[in-house]
């Protein structure tokens, strides 16, 4: 392990409370810093799984508040711009505010991951998860 660096992070209070519950569930040997390091490593490992030139198919699941500024139109814009990689999308109105979208993607691994990151990066997206599998083809 390299030298430890401190940084500060701003998170909503309720999210921090949930994170502290997770830290507690992982036992007395783990503190916030250790659990955060584990989560960062998990995220990096799952990203490095496949070859960037390999074709993958996957689903990107998002939860967002459709009232959040121009979120919906930004999401639509991104999806239109990448229509060749987006096979299908399903939109579910969860309640008065929240929407769930499941987007099916297909394309070169590096491009699909970048696209998923830019969708997840749209301000107002509360939660998201990309789940992929390889087709065995190279593009
Ligand atoms: Ni909706």
Q: How far is the CA of 3 from the centre of ligand 1 (A)?
A: 45
Pick the CATH number of 54-138 from 3.40.50.720, 3.40.50.11540, 3.30.70.1150, 3.30.70.270: 3.30.70.1150
Q: 1-46: per-residue pLDDT in tens?
A: 689 999 999 999 999 999 999 999 988 778 999 999 988 887 776 6
- Would you list the DSSP string of 57-117? EEEEEEEEETTSTTHHHHHHHHHHHTTTTEEEEEEEE-SSSEEEEEEEEEEEHHHHHHHHH
Q: How far is the CA of 66 from the centre of ligand 1 (A)?
A: 6
pLDDT value at position 47?
62
Q: How far is the CA of 131 from the centre of ligand 1 (A)?
A: 22
pLDDT value at position 45?
66
Surrounding ion ligand 1 within 5 Å at CB are 66, 93, 99
Structural domain boundaries of the chain?
13-49, 54-138
Whether pLDDT at 119 is above 70: yes
């Amino acid at each position: 392990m390299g030298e430890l660096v401190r940084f500060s992070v701003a998170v909503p209070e309720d999210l921090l409370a949930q994170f502290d519950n997770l830290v507690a569930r992982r036992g007395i040997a783990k503190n916030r810093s250790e659990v955060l390091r584990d989560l960062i490593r998990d995220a990096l490992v799952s990203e490095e799984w496949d070859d960037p030139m390999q074709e993958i198919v996957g689903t990107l699941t998002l939860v967002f508040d459709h009232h959040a500024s121009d979120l919906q139109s930004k999401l639509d814009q991104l999806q239109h711009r990448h229509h060749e990689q987006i096979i299908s999308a399903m939109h579910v109105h969860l309640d008065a505010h929240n929407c769930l979208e499941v987007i099916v993607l297909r394309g070169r691994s590096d491009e699909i991951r970048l696209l998923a990151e830019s969708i997840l990066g749209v301000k107002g997206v509360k939660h998201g998860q990309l789940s992929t599998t390889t087709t065995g083809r190279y593009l």
